[in-house]
Amino acid sequence: MGSDKGKKQKLGEVKEENNGTEHIDGELVLSVEKLQEIQDELEKINEEASEKVLEVEQKYNELRKPVYDKRNDVIKSIPDFWLTAFLSHPAFSELLTEEDQKIFRYLSSLEVEDSKDVKSGYTITFNFNPNPFFEDTKLTKTFTFLEEGTTKITATSIKWKAGMGISNTVAEEKKGNKRSHAEESFFTWFSDSQQKDDVDEIHDEIADLIKDDIWPNPLTYFFDEADEEDSDMDGGDEFWFFSAFILYVDIALRSSLYCSSDSKSLARKKGSDGSEDDDDQDDEDDDGDEDNN
Amino acid sequence: MGADKGKKQKVGEVEEENNGAEQIDGELVLSIEKLQEIQDELEKINEEASEKVLEVEQKYNEIRKPVYDKRNDIIKSIPDFWLTAFFSHPALSELLTDEDQKIFKYLSSLEVEDFKDVKSGYSITFNFSPNPYFEDTKLTKTFTFLDEGTKITATSIKWKEGMGIPNGVAEQTKGNKRPHHAEESFFTWFNDTQHKEDIDEIHDEVAEIIKDDLWSNPLTYFNNEADEEDFEIDDDEDKASDGSEDDEEEEEEEEEGDGDE
């Protein structure tokens, strides 16, 4: 019984040379086989669990849809809502150059939609009103989760109008502006598409931000902006509404007055004092001075 | 109507000085209120979804339990199973010093168990046979998910005399050619506990690897090792590079049963 041969013979003979314990080895193999069966069983259970979880997610996605549609309608009556929410988001606002901010004024709505089966992917769409920057009215970025575990990313190829979309140059010109602004245009995000599956774990942080943070509850950020500026205020919702409006209307108005590249106005709003319109700082008690006319 | 005062009056009157658009503002407030209601509605839907998902997870955890128990019984008849699996895991093996390797020979089993409701936490237990290193036969690390963060508790190892001085011992056996050895003992993992909830996102990578990777399918790693090498871990002799003696599994596929001569 050549030890080598014994070992290589068939499943069931292992490490004879160590102890000549074929008997145990045979049992060993059997145990390993049984173990494999159990792992297979566990795998089936896990797959079933994943399917059930997916079903739940699909079901609730269907439930959410009409609510999101309803929300979209309400948002339509709040001009510059998405603009405000984006600018108020601490991380997102850092991604917008001065030029981007001007472009965002034409943003009419945001849409995030999962594929019907949820697991195949999702799409983020920015809807814009006709604007002087690009021809498109819809900028979309789609993430498709493929079988092999990679993600395919496709996005709208922006049709910039003449002289537009040269973000870098424009950003530099406005360097003097105090408002935090990015170096590179946010819109390059639409160019970051992967046609190859080089990177398995593509981590599109902006997409995550929009899908998991802003889209689920943009109202938080809408209010946050107001909160930030008047941090000493802790009044109730009423006050927040109030401050939010000050800010909101401020943006809305600048929007309509915004015919020239007056970036200073924006800077002022978020500037250190924020005191022009936001006399809220004095309004802590909400009662105000009443109208003593 | 002093502009300032107008603004301070009540929610709904804003920025008179700019355009006097009180009417629009009133509608605005209504819209925002409606929006808030919708967000509340969404939140309820999300909570319900989370609960349903949790129910599924709880249900399948119950289904898995007896299977894990069955698995544990079978593993008992495979000597050094967990030891081998641990060493075969590319990441975990890097965490073991030579001394750790010796200690791991006394590892009898590994257990990972979720709390009954799944969401509250889980624990990882290393069961050891009586050994010359520490008094304990069970080393456990528990993760409890609290609202304010994760609480981590672990067994305070009762090292025997002269044991548990990882650095000192590790250096002595530096000569060992085996590639996998860490500087710091793996057992310090049991010291990494958090009683405060300073860090919300406590990221215990070792725990994650054990729970999500090794525990789910240790056989994958066990088989890998068998392919590579003998079962000996710290014996220098058998670290023969060819590893051709026992790893006939690769060749077994062809079932070249010559039969015993």
**Residue A51: left (phi > 0), alpha (psi -120 to 50), or beta?**
alpha
CB B208 within 8 Å of CB B112:
no
- What pLDDT, on the 0 to 100 scale, is given for residue B89? 93
Is the pLDDT score of B141 beyond 90? yes
Q: How far is A242 from chain B, CA to nearest CA, in Å?
A: 5
Q: What is the mean pLDDT of residues B55-61?
A: 95
Q: How far is A90 from chain B, CA to nearest CA, in Å?
A: 20
Q: How far apart are CA A211 and CA A214, in angstroms?
A: 6
Mutate to test the interface with A, among B44, B70, B242, B245 (most CBs of A within 10 A): B245
* Helix H or strand E segment including B78: none
Is the pLDDT score of B133 beyond 70? yes
Q: How far is A254 from chain B, CA to nearest CA, in Å?
A: 10
| Paired strand residues for A139 | A126
Interchain proximity A63–B256, CB inside 8 Å: no
Residue found under tokens 């997610």: A57
Decide if B4 touches A, using CB distance below 8 A.
yes
Q: Which of A103-117, A187-201, B53-67, B85-99 has the lowest mean pLDDT?
A: A187-201
Cα distances from A205 to residues A87, A143, A213, A220, A249, in angstroms, run 17, 13, 11, 20, 30
Q: How far apart are CA A221 and CA A72, in angstroms?
A: 16
Mutate to test the interface with B, among A48, A55, A74, A81 (most CBs of B within 10 A): A74
- What pLDDT, on the 0 to 100 scale, is given for residue B169? 43
B80: three-class secondary structure by DSSP: coil
- Which residues 92-131 in chain B show a CB within 8 A of chain A? none
Q: How far apart are CA A169 and CA A272, in angstroms?
A: 27
Chain B residue with the nearest C-alpha to that of A28: B78
Q: How far apart are CA A166 and CA A171, in angstroms?
A: 9
- What pLDDT, on the 0 to 100 scale, is given for residue B57? 94
Decide if A8 touches B, using CB distance below 8 A.
yes
| pLDDT one-digit tens code per residue, B238-252 | 444 444 444 444 444
Q: Which of A111-125, A167-181, B135-149, B156-170 has the lowest mean pLDDT?
A: A167-181
Q: How far is A238 from chain B, CA to nearest CA, in Å?
A: 7
Interchain proximity A67–B38, CB inside 8 Å: yes
- What pLDDT, on the 0 to 100 scale, is given for residue B116? 87
- What pLDDT, on the 0 to 100 scale, is given for residue A22? 58
- What pLDDT, on the 0 to 100 scale, is given for residue B183? 76
Decide if A279 touches B, using CB distance below 8 A.
yes
Q: Which of A228-242, B43-57, B88-102, B180-194 has the lowest mean pLDDT?
A: A228-242
Interchain proximity A35–B53, CB inside 8 Å: no
Nearest to A51 by CA among B176, B195, B53, B208: B53
* Residue A250, Cβ density class (10 Å: 0-12 exposed, 13-18 middle, ≥19 buried): buried
Interchain proximity B5–A291, CB inside 8 Å: yes
Is the pLDDT score of B12 beyond 50? no
User: For chain A (length 293 residues), average pLDDT per consecutive 10?
Assistant: 45 47 76 95 96 96 96 90 90 88 91 92 95 95 88 92 68 49 84 58 82 93 60 45 60 54 43 43 42 42
Decide if B240 touches A, using CB distance below 8 A.
no
- What pLDDT, on the 0 to 100 scale, is given for residue B195? 57
Mutate to test the interface with B, among A24, A35, A67 (most CBs of B within 10 A): A35
Interchain proximity B217–A6, CB inside 8 Å: no
